Structure 1
Amino acid sequence: MSEWFRLTGDGRITLTLHIQPGAKKTEFAGLHGDALKIRLAAPPVDGKANEALVRFLADVLDLPKSAVILKSGQTSRRKVLEVTGSDSARISALSGI
């Protein structure tokens, strides 16, 4: 198991992410310390980057947006999200490692 995601006791998965808003395109960018780095095309203004992040992860994991919750880091590049309805193998494949 990787450091950037953890299984909780109730079947949820916690993701630790490093976000780079304002990028040319939205994509995974590998590991950044103990976090998975994601480049977002959305600007860090009025919560647009947070909305884009939730939408991006929900789309990639083929989940409804309600299954991806931003737990902490609303105004930080380092964010913690909680995902329900996915498995660890699918989450692990996100980083390409």
Structure 2
Amino acid sequence: MKIFIKVKPNSKNEKIEKIDENHFNVWLKVPAREGKANKRLVELLSKYFNLSKSKILIISGFKSKNKIVSLNLS
């Protein structure tokens, strides 16, 4: 399953907002430096979807706020 995410780093709070079936906004406390935001994004998605971190893969947008993420639901 592919989902499209708009990440908002350096936020006061961390939360995930579902826009529709495949689109989400994600607020992160960590800065978008040295992969910290990407790492934290995977951790939050892991909890949200109840998946292990190894089943979540950022496909596109490693250095962008707009990301495409693959979730291995099987």
Fold shared per TM-score above 0.5: yes
Alignment partner for residue 66 of structure 1, among 20, 42, 54?
A: 54
Correspondences of 1:6-21 after superposition (within 5 Å): 13-21=1-9
Larger radius of gyration: 1
The normalised TM-score by structure 1 is 0.68
**CA offset at residue 68 of structure 1?**
0.5
Q: Does 1:37 align with 2:21?
A: no
Higher strand share: 2
- Report how many aligned residue pairs link the two structures: 72
- What root-mean-square deviation, in Å, do the aligned CA atoms of Structure 1 and Structure 2 show? 1.6
Q: Secondary structure at the match of 2:41?
A: helix
- State the identity as a percent: 26
Higher RCO (C-alpha under 8 Å, 6+ residues apart): 2
Q: Secondary structure at the match of 1:70?
A: strand
Moved >3 Å (runs of 4+): none
Do the aligned partners of residues 64 and 30 (structure 1) sit closer, same or farther apart at CA in structure 2, a change above 3 Å counting?
Answer: closer
Q: Secondary structure at the match of 1:19?
A: strand
In structure 1, the gaps of 5 or more residues are 1-12, 87-97
**CA offset at residue 42 of structure 1?**
1.2
Q: Report the residue type matching 1:68 in the other structure.
A: I
